[in-house]
Amino acid sequence: MKSGLIRFGVMVGGFTLGFWVNLAVAKDLVLAEVHPAGHVIVKSEELFGNRLAAATHGELKIDLKSGGQLGNETQYWSKVRDGSIDIVRVNMGVLVNDVLAAKYMSLPYLFRSRDHMWRVLGGDFGKRTAADIDKAGAVVLAYYDSGTRSFYTSKKPIRNRSDFSGMRIRIQDSPVYKDLITELGGTPVVIGYDKVVDAFKKGEIDAAENNLPSYVSSEHYKYARYFNLDEHSSVPEVLLMSKKTWNTLSAEQRKAILAAANDSAEYMKKQWVDYEAQALATAKKEGVTIVDKRQINMTGIEEFAVRLYSKYITDANDLNTVLSIMRTK
């Protein structure tokens, strides 16, 4: 936030007395989001903005650009580091090329449950992750729940590993996801989240993967009629601020931002369960075929997927890191 000095003059007994008043100038912080208005993440970001404005008496305000107005998540990650966007919300999977801790978190079937994931993030590994992101040029404000990611398909359901054969599957720009799809027998296709609908329409992809609420809110269910609950990934969303923006703020402003971000994260956790239930009900109402995890031969799929561990766990320290995640109770 910037401040300006303005000189005032008053007449007292025929003499002009001058004095300076320090006026604070309000600052709008741009927050980039791919999800559309009404999505639980967007609602959480709106709460973040409201809490921040109240805590700073309007000195800091959030200018929320939702619906992919400023690009896709891969672009957001680049822009938040170079300072061209103040705040972004991205999936941790987007960071894997630059943040080693994010690569570990993206390993398929690593977390037993979301509770397991939150316990890991609340410990030493979470501190290491924040430190790695800081070195890359951004500051972690909060983590958002994004549920578990599953595959949704346009031509047939997935019931065993052989069903992946020949499928063109849209993924985030992540080496882990690329290798996962290849290992399962499919072809990874990297395109922006905002391009998925067109890709389905044009027949450029046969499948994609995301959590159930995003699948419904983006209306991908209109083009991919099978939602296959394999739950291959439980990776959180992360709210990030550019270090360049962070370094312009006072200690009080930073404190207010972190508090508001934490409030929004807690709000989202409470809303997410209901949001998932609503999304499931909508999908069923729209005629989507829901393939339950019990209907999928997960043993065959997981055996191929965990082969990736040996590729990304390259030394003893890395192995200990992954083992510590798996052992966290």
Q: Is the pLDDT of residue 7 over 60?
A: no
State pLDDT tens for residues 215-225: 998 999 999 99
Burial of residue 312, with CB atoms counted within 10 A of its CB: 0-12 exposed, 13-18 middle, 19 or more buried: middle
Number of compact structural domains in the chain: 2
State pLDDT tens for residues 134-170: 999 999 999 998 788 999 999 999 999 999 999 999 9
CA distance 71 to 58: 27
Q: Are residues 44 and 155 in the same domain?
A: no
Q: Are residues 24 and 129 in the same domain?
A: yes
Comparing 174 with 208, which gets the higher pLDDT? Answer: 208
Q: Are residues 207 and 264 in the same domain?
A: no
Query: Residues with Cβ < 8 Å from 129, sequence gap 6 or more?
Result: 99, 101, 102, 105, 121, 140
Q: Are residues 244 and 323 in the same domain?
A: no
Which is it for the CA torsion 247, 253, 255, 256, positive or negative? negative
Residue 60, phi-psi category: left (phi > 0), alpha (psi -120 to 50), beta (remainder): beta
Q: Are residues 115 and 179 in the same domain?
A: no
Q: Are residues 271 and 294 in the same domain?
A: no
State pLDDT tens for residues 43-98: 999 999 999 999 999 999 999 999 999 999 999 999 999 999 999 999 998 998 89
Of 164, 150, 166, give the one whose Cα is nearest residue 220: 150
Comparing 121 with 312, which gets the higher pLDDT? Answer: 121
Per the listing, tokens 């401040």 go with 3
Q: Are residues 209 and 219 in the same domain?
A: yes
CA distance 141 to 189: 31
Q: Which amino acid is at 112?
A: R
Q: Is the pLDDT of residue 260 over 60?
A: yes
Q: Are residues 204 and 307 in the same domain?
A: yes
Q: What is the token pair recorded at 67?
A: 């619906």
State pLDDT tens for residues 64-76: 999 999 999 999 9
| Residues forming a β-bridge with 113 | none
Residue 25 has what pLDDT?
60
How many C-beta neighbours within 10 Å does residue 276 have?
Answer: 18
Range of the domain at 16: 3-146+235-279
- Average pLDDT score over the chain: 88
Residue 300 has what pLDDT?
81
The domain that holds 202 is classified in CATH as 3.40.190.170
Residue 48 has what pLDDT?
98
Q: Are residues 86 and 191 in the same domain?
A: no
Q: Are residues 37 and 111 in the same domain?
A: yes
Q: Are residues 137 and 201 in the same domain?
A: no
Q: Are residues 203 and 252 in the same domain?
A: no
Check: CB of residue 175 under 8 Å from CB of residue 190: no
How many C-beta neighbours within 10 Å does residue 69 have?
Answer: 12
